[in-house]
Chains A and B, each alone.
Chain A
Amino acid sequence: MQGGSGTSDRASVGLSARGLACRRGDRVLFAGLSLELGPGAALHVVGANGIGKSSLIRLLAGLARPYAGAVRREGAAGLLDERPALEPALPLGKALAFWAAADGHRAMAEVHRMLGLDPLLDVPVRYLSTGQRKRAALARLIGQAAPIWLLDEPLNGLDAAAAELVARIVGEHCAGGGICVVASHQPFAVPAIGRLELAEFAA
């Protein structure tokens, strides 16, 4: 699996895009976007609603095909968006256990404690609040141990303390040689984070 091999060799981690253009329906959202991220790089994508932040994240993840241009990823990508990919009917612990098993059973107890998920492990996912679900998805992302993190509005629904925690986790990920692209309209306090104004590429 990609997730397992990605962590061992962080030196070759990279994410680049060349002449990227994105079309939704019959509208081109942005065009001519190029970026180049190496180990330890963090990028904050900002822009108004509907300008294509989420579409850019999905293009970088390889889940959507670009209208023009190309994306190159070296290393596995992990995605955090508004869909937690956790079965609503299952207790949180079981729902997370599926992804932990798929990603090779890393020790997750420490991660759960850090994210404050311990008391929630027996609660069915559908009873969790937006913020709790976001923290659970974050645990899934950490467990995947992918070197490239693509976060779409990771702070939505989080309280101030949790938002600070997310910024710290992203900071640690990048300090460890990972790459992180964050699409968010909220400020994101990570040291040495780059800034990409999507409006500059609006077509």
Chain B
Amino acid sequence: MSATLALLLRRDLALLLSGRRGGPVLPILFFLAVAMLFPFAIGPDPRLLARVGGGVIWVAALLAAILPLDRLVEPDLELGVFDQLALRGVSEEAVLAVRVLAHWLSFAPWLMLATLPASALLGIDAATLRVVEWGLLAGTPGLAALGVMVAAITCGLRGGAALGGLLVIPLAVPLLIFGAGAVAQAGIDGGGSGLALAAAVSLVLLAVAPFAGAAAIRAGR
């Protein structure tokens, strides 16, 4: 079982990273494009940009996380991969848990890397950047779990991708509040409480997502 899961993780990672299932390049470019739009929209005032910058990066990360939704579960369901794995004793829960991990690994490191140029565009100082990066580290596992869960729930539906985006946004609000809130609090307590709460939300989503997604896939069979 665990050997099969390791094999599955390697396969998922290869597919998600290679661009055969979208790949991280487009979402990351989209993230940078959104971060770049804000200075154009609200003007080049450095003080204002530095003040809203942390929140802008969080909004951009959330929007970028919506892009790969339709490639996360649907292709494997159409191919019958879930059925074949079930016949080999690998439950849908296990497949989705592996998928969350693979999705996070193929997405979060690049996002955190792209945050460096994005924060330069927004004029964010080093101390704030540190809190933003810690926040992304705490929050992106939750975003990955949420993405896989919503992808499993909406797969097979017509217009599932658009519906998936609509479902992710409200469910990601707690992550956004605590993650961006940590940036706002950085001057007071170093953002520690916000980071802890963002990590807590991530843990809840990680615990729920494989089971909710698997139930949705089985109900849809």
Contacts and interface: CB of A to CB of B under 8 A. Distances in A.
User: Chain B: interface residue count, which band?
Assistant: 10 to 19
Most chain B CB atoms below 10 A, which of A1, A61, A140? A1
B88 A144 contact: yes
B7 A83 contact: no
Interface stretch (B43-51, B53-61, B74-82): B74-82
**Interface SS of chain A:** loop
Nearest to B83: A63
A182 B89 CA distance: 22
A90 interface: yes
B79 A85 contact: yes
A1 B4 contact: yes
Contacts of B88: 1-3, 76, 102-103, 144
Contacts of A76: 87-89
User: Chain A: interface residue count, which band?
Assistant: 20 to 34
A85 B81 contact: yes
A101 interface: yes
Interface of A: 1-3, 58, 61-64, 76-79, 81, 83-90, 98-99, 101-103, 140, 144, 146
Interface of B: 1, 4, 7-8, 11, 15, 20, 78-81, 83-89, 221
20 contacts: A1-B1, A1-B88, A3-B88, A62-B87, A63-B221, A79-B80, A79-B83, A79-B84, A83-B78, A85-B79, A85-B81, A85-B83, A87-B79, A89-B15, A89-B20, A101-B7, A102-B4, A102-B85, A103-B88, A140-B84
